[in-house]
A and B are shown apart, each in its own frame.
Chain A
Amino acid sequence: MEPLEEKYIDPQPWLDKNEKPFLEIRSVTKKFGDFTAVDKVNLEIYKGELFCLLGGSGCGKSTLLRILAGFETATEGSFFIDGVDMTQIPPYERPVNMMFQSYAIFPHMSVEKNIAYGLKRDGLSKPEVKTRVEEGLKLVQLSQFAKRKPHQLSGGQQQRVALARALVKHPKVLLLDEPLAALDKKLREKTQFELMDIQYKLGITFIVVTHDQEEAMTLSTRIAVMNQGKIKQIGTPTDIYEYPQSRFTANFIGSINIFEGIVKESLSESHVVQSEETQCDLLIDRDSSIHTGEKIGVAIRPEKIHLSREEPDKQDFNTLRGKVLDFGYIGNLSVYNVKLPSGKMVKVSSPNQNRYSKHRVTWDDIVYLTWEPANTVVIL
């Protein structure tokens, strides 16, 4: 029996102890004068990964990428591709290619010539260049635009020229600096999937820089969240979203409610947390690293909170009473801002399963918020 359809396999080489990283960044630091743009970054990226560097504007993502491409020299540290130290190798000899944020397509060359440029530099024979260019054009669906000049193309087409130009070189690693940032929302979503498709087909390791968390979540096998030149957390999209390790990551990816409190009591399966912001104690799952008396933050995502006007029977733990201050209708879901007696604002979102409901929660309603202890995350 053959499988009917090719399925995406989802290997997780970073969990395999025997697997060697393909690209290894060892404590790379970049200083511009006194300013540290990249601060002791360590990364291990595996073959065939689609790795995202996610962070706000100015956090040093592009600088890190430019160090990998060879346009900036690291102040300290080194990095290896396939076990070879790349630190001293000039950009034109590195087995990596970059897709620039501005695309950097040569304006005086046709689409075809742009794509052939890198192949000619490799000293390939003419017929070989021709076939590879045709392959590249087909891959990004630009075959009928081969003879056009860049300024005769739309933004999306230019983006694909830039992609094809880098891909035809069959680099070991492809670096993409905000590849979708210049496209409009609809096109961006479509292109995301095309990009994933191409990456999967070719099996080239991609490192994508982005400031858009949704894009990072959709695209990547793993994400590194960056802030002020430092890596805050590395993990799969699910890890990063469900188990943020720091306040920064928790707030940067999606939205989250954090209740500050002190561990009052440790039970066999759980801990009880007392918080001045809530009326009742909070219950969290047992974790051996948490000790009684410790100050912690209990974090919960808005969509994991259940909101109701009916008073629940049991109100010992994880039950908050508050007033709806604001609500927004987004289409697929509604978001509520609920004010607790302590003044703390809690964000809650719930799906709009029915088009019209008589018992819709609205302004100034008194509501009860409840959630499962397993859905909370502890942030130290």
Chain B
Amino acid sequence: MKENRLIPNDHSQAEGDKAALPTEKSAKHFSTLRNLLNSFENRTWRGVVIGIPYLWMLMFFFLPFVFVFKISLAESIIARPPFTSLIAWVDGTRLSINLIFDNYLLLLEDDFFTIAYLNSLKIAFVATLCCLIIGYIMAYGIARSKASIRNVLLLLVILPFWTSFLLRVYAWMGLLSNHGIINNLLLAIGFIDQPIQMMYTDFAMYVVFVYTFLPFMILPLYSTLEKMDMSLHEASADLGAKPVTTFLTVTVPLSMPGIIAGCMLVFIPAVGEFVIPSLVGGPDSMMIGRMLFDEFFANRDWPLASAVAVVLLIFLVVPFMLYKFYSARQEGRYV
């Protein structure tokens, strides 16, 4: 027994090696079979998992969009439903398809709509930019704060969602109006003699815009900043970069995914927003969302409203597609 242990390279050891070989091989066969089964299961599951969102998109986005598009090619009539039908039998024998492009033509010709579209883009852009600047500072602060208070700070960011959006807008009206809390306070301390007109101005609109959309900016920014490797900042300083340079050359480029996601999440809903400009905005802050609402409910011109919606969608989808295309190409380059 001892003799065997003595010389490591002896006979029994070699035999043991040979004996081990076949078992290893059969284990390999077995695992290949199992892998095959697994991959089959995986594929079915993957199909289901991917299929559900597609089905969802089909039912609740694509089909409604087709209806809206169809209505946009009709004419407004006083009836129920209030638009002409696309396909009609004429004289009982001829099938006529009526595609009416008047609505789109109107959108092009009437400056009113063009201005509203441009105005919406401008307001959404400014609001997004303000959100980005304020949100970046806040997200950076939260990501660099102590782990123990980080969750509390994040909770505070999300907290407003727990009350109704309308309620929060009304609260802002209470703050900003001529007899609101801010004006009363400033009057009381003698800082001003006359209340400052804040309600129904661009200022009020932007304040509420930023207030409403800020969390959508902070959360994706926070998640990229929090993951960022601090040693990269140290390496940058070590190589001679002042803090500002480090921020511009390391922090910002590495948080680009968060910046883009945050801007999308703010810009897209902001363009179509209609509650905020209607409730706190001035008379000249005509946004496309408000116009859509008016056409639909006040004028009951469903076809025109639908055309407005379709054009708006194109405005929003095209940049999104461009971004997707760009990021896919970027990834393709990395892989």
Contacts and interface: CB of A to CB of B under 8 A. Distances in A.
A98 interface: yes
The 3 closest A-B pairs by CB, nearest first: A118-B239, A121-B240, A104-B235
Contacts of A96: 238
B241 A108 contact: no
Nearest to B243: A92
B234 A91 contact: yes
B242 interface: yes
A102 B6 CA distance: 44
Given A97-B238, A151-B334, A102 B231 contact: yes
A92 B237 contact: yes
A71 B8 CA distance: 52
Interface in B1-41: 2, 5-6, 8
A312 interface: no
10 contacts: A92-B240, A97-B239, A105-B235, A107-B232, A117-B239, A118-B239, A329-B8, A362-B6, A363-B2, A363-B5
A106 B232 contact: yes
B238 A98 contact: yes
Interface string B136-149: 00000000000000
A92 B238 contact: yes
Contacts of B235: 98, 100, 104-106
A30 interface: no
Interface string B224-247: 000001011011111111100100
A106 B239 CA distance: 12
A347 interface: no
B236 A117 contact: yes
A199 B229 CA distance: 29
Given A102-B229, A102-B231, A108 B238 contact: no
A149 B334 contact: yes
Contacts of A91: 234, 237-238
Contacts of B118: none
A69 interface: yes
Interface of A: 69-71, 90-93, 96-98, 100, 102, 104-108, 117-118, 121-122, 149, 151, 165-166, 169, 329, 360, 362-363
Nearest to A360: B6
A151 B238 CA distance: 22
A362 to B, nearest CB: 5
Contacts of A169: 239-240
A85 to B, nearest CB: 19
Nearest to A93: B240
A92 B253 contact: no
A360 B2 CA distance: 13
Given A106-B232, A107-B254, A165 B2 contact: no
Contact of A71 (B234, B240, B241): B234
Interface string B244-257: 01000110011000
B241 A92 contact: yes
A272 to B, nearest CB: 39
A182 to B, nearest CB: 14
A104 B6 contact: no
A92 B242 contact: yes
B254 A108 contact: yes
Nearest to B5: A363
A100 B231 CA distance: 8
A118 B250 CA distance: 13
Given A70-B238, A106-B232, 13 more contacts: A71-B237, A90-B237, A92-B240, A100-B231, A100-B234, A100-B235, A106-B236, A117-B239, A117-B241, A118-B240, A149-B334, A329-B8, A363-B5
